[in-house]
Amino acid sequence: MYSMGTSTAERLIESTRELLWERGYAATSPKAIQQRAGAGQGSMYHHFAGKPDLALAAITRTAQEMRAKAEAQFSTPGTAVERITAYLLREREVLKGCPIGGLTQDPDLMADPALRAPVEETLAWLRGRLAEVVAEGCRDGELDAALDPQTTAAAIVAVLQGGYVLARAADSVDPFDQAVTGALGLLAGRTTSA
Amino acid sequence: MYSMGTSTAERLIESTRELLWERGYAATSPKAIQQRAGAGQGSMYHHFAGKPDLALAAITRTAQEMRAKAEAQFSTPGTAVERITAYLLREREVLKGCPIGGLTQDPDLMADPALRAPVEETLAWLRGRLAEVVAEGCRDGELDAALDPQTTAAAIVAVLQGGYVLARAADSVDPFDQAVTGALGLLAGRTTSA
DNA sequence: GTCTATAGGACGATAGAC
DNA sequence: GTCTATCGTCCTATAGAC
């Protein structure tokens, strides 16, 4: 039997995930992680080699989670436009920003190839996967065949990532919602029914 | 006559602008600013009250510059779509990210109302100003009157801000260019000529 | 107006007892 | 596996000489 309680290592990873999202990599200190996890210094350095090692565990898990949530929307029953719409309108903690995209701004994290890799791979996968959905829509005659799936998908993902930026700047979800609404409005003009 | 050489205060501001763009606020130390400006500690603290004061001078100037560059594209001769296209295709240092939008991710900066204000105002102005251009296009019959200027403008600004994020994640300008191309492709379907 | 010296604290990490 | 003590460094800022 495995322990049924939450292990110290587990609490350290979850605390790191939260702090990475709230404060970023550079601004997150081992001390802050330990305090949130209710663990001492020695405990942290027993389970992890250091701050980068712990961050890697946290980022890997967050990336996996983000991918799973997106895939859940993309592989749902419905037309391509319905699935894209559902993905765009999915509930998000907008003011906290994207837990993966936000890391892009952290110079120390991006300088470490191991930490950078999951960020790069996750967003590349997202663009590629969404391009497949757009391509389905074009193939099925639901979307204008003149639309390029790859660039259209990149624009849609960018609207989300940029929406987070605008919302954080305004300290309001409004710009995010407006950007999504605007993107859906532009897309609506390229559907067969339009 | 004013001094013709570059003053120490001026060099400090310019160094701060560069470092804020490259590293962000939290990761930029007074020491690093001094070294880049070729000034000593005493010199910096003589001209500025501290790191936040210097950052305010730097951010204010960067915000003003960004606004002027955008306005140059928006007030140029041409149709609304031509001006929006020119704005989107303008040369940018994509891999460095948006010098204003990137600050959005810095928790220490966003916690300071004085430092946060220029970031908030600049992006709010950008959305509003672009919405005016979109509205002109709709009014002139150049763009589909069914398009909502405000949400469409928010989407376009978000594509740029998100494009920066995707490009930095990929360490390549390609996703940025794709997002812009995708946005222009979506917009093209809503023009009268389409 | 610029310099050096120094303060007081946080940082990331290690050592070694228990 | 967890603890406390400690290291050496960097941080932001101030003091005071020149």
Query: Which chain A residues in 2-61 sit with Cβ < 7 A of strand D?
Result: 8, 39-43, 45-47
* Banded pLDDT at B4 (limits 50, 70, 90): low
CATH of the domain at A183: 1.10.357.10
Residues 6+ apart with CB under 8 A from A187: A81, A84, A143, A156, B186
- Tell me whether residue A72 is in a domain: yes
pLDDT of residue A4: 54
List B residues 167-186 in contact with A (Cβ-Cβ < 8 A): 168-171, 175, 178-183, 185-186
Contacts of A27 in chain B (CB under 8 A): 26, 107-108
Nearest-angstrom CA–CA distance, B88 and B95 = 16
- Tell me whether residue A53 is in a domain: yes
Domain span at residue A151? 8-188
Say how many CB pairs under 8 Å bridge A and B.
214
Nucleotides of chain D touched by protein CB (<7 A): 1-6, 10-17
- Tell me whether residue B1 is in a domain: no
- Tell me whether residue A114 is in a domain: yes
Tally the domains of chain A: 1
Contacts of B175 in chain A (CB under 8 A): 123, 127, 154, 158
Does the pLDDT of residue B20 top 90, yes or no? Answer: yes
Tens of pLDDT, residues B90-108: 999 999 999 999 999 999 9
- Tell me whether residue A193 is in a domain: no
- Tell me whether residue A1 is in a domain: no
Tens of pLDDT, residues A41-67: 999 999 999 999 999 999 999 999 999
Give how far A123 is from chain B: nearest CA, Å.
7
pLDDT of residue A10: 97
Answer left, alpha or beta for residue A104, where phi above 0 means left and psi between -120 and 50 means alpha: alpha
- Tell me whether residue A133 is in a domain: yes
- Tell me whether residue B73 is in a domain: yes
- Kindly calculate the radius of gyration of chain B based on its CA atoms and give it in whole angstroms: 19
Chain B residue with the nearest C-alpha to that of A120? B169
